[in-house]
Amino acid sequence: MATKAGTEIETIVSVKPSAKVWKKMKKKWRLYAMMVPAIVFFAIFNYYPMYGVIIAFKEYSASAGILGSPWVGFDHFERFFNAYYFWDILSNTLLISAYQLAMFPVPIIVALSMNEIKSSMFKRFTQTITYAPHFISVVVMTGMLVAFLSPSTGIVNNFLGLFGMEPIAFLAEPGWFKTIFVQSGVWQNLGWSAIIYLAALAGVNPELHEAATVDGATRFQRILHINIPAVLPVIVILLILEVGNLMAIAFEKVYLLQNPLNMEASDVIQTFVYRSGLLEGQYSFSAAVGLFNSLISLTLLVTVNYIAKKTTNNSLW
């Protein structure tokens, strides 16, 4: 009898949580129904195609199909790691990514500065000027860079000529590529990236600033001890996402700015995958290179998220 009663109690305990969850889902079924289109979208267009990653371990043939192609294991990875161009491509990718990551604090500084502007008219004007470049397409942006940096007719070289300097072929010199790529991206996304920080600053209690002012705190001290702690959780989350995208360099912009003269500095993993996969038809090899890139990004994301959780108690999960 005791055993039977114990079994019944265990059954009730094990069933109760699931019944509770089902009851909650039934009560809020409208919210779950709204999630269905997004789940279906990601399942079809993001998760279902992932099975194709197995071609990185096969010698893919279009006639044989994905499942019919022969397995080659890690041959494509070994080929990439042993290639003479491996370290050049990897170093270009990492250097551009590190350069972009070094610019991460710029939108934070801009947001903190904008938050201190007292004139509402000047504040709106500044926001408009900084937000506007975000809506310029990549093609137009690269066209502007080519026009502005032209050695013969570019506005930059014409300005340098006023000081007696010789024209510089910016896009033909590998040493200038990373700076042009990263700084133009900072200019284009500066205001847009600052929006989320401004939204977080809008939630700061004005009474904290009033109390700090009464206690004799300077403006810089108030920014340091009130505003920055207020946006710190947002900074941590965006930093984690930024590190997760460290290896995901914008392919379109690199490709449009790339030319044979700056190739040694502009050839990154994304352009190499495009060239070897779509132009040369090495589908399995390019899939292996792309998978290698994705695994690095995933490792960085998980690592930084873990460190952030341990140090700041803020994380994605």
pLDDT at position 2:
47
Together in a domain, 91 and 30: no
Domain that holds residue 14: 2-57
Residue 276 lies in a domain: yes
* Number of domains making up the chain: 2
Q: Which stretch of DSSP H or E encloses residue 117?
A: none
Report the mean per-residue pLDDT for the chain. Answer: 88
Model pLDDT for residues 64-93, shown as the tens digit of each residue: 888 889 999 999 999 999 999 999 999 999
Q: pLDDT tens-digit profile of 276-301? A: 998 998 999 999 999 999 999 889 88
Query: Do 50 and 141 lie in a common domain?
Result: no
Q: Which two tokens stand for residue 229?
A: 């702690």
Q: Decide if 64 is inside a domain.
A: no
List, in sequence order, the alpha helices (H) in 250-282.
251-257, 263-266, 269-274
Dist CA 83 CA 76 (whole Å): 11
> Is there a domain that residue 73 lies in?
no
- Local confidence band at 3 (pLDDT 50, 70, 90 cut-offs): low
Tell me what pLDDT residue 17 has. 61
Q: Which of 8, 243, 207, 223 lies closest to 104 in space, CA to CA?
A: 243
Q: 238 in a domain, yes or no?
A: yes
Residue 214 falls within a domain, yes or no?
Answer: yes
Confidence of residue 16 (pLDDT cuts 50, 70, 90): low
pTM of the model: 0.83
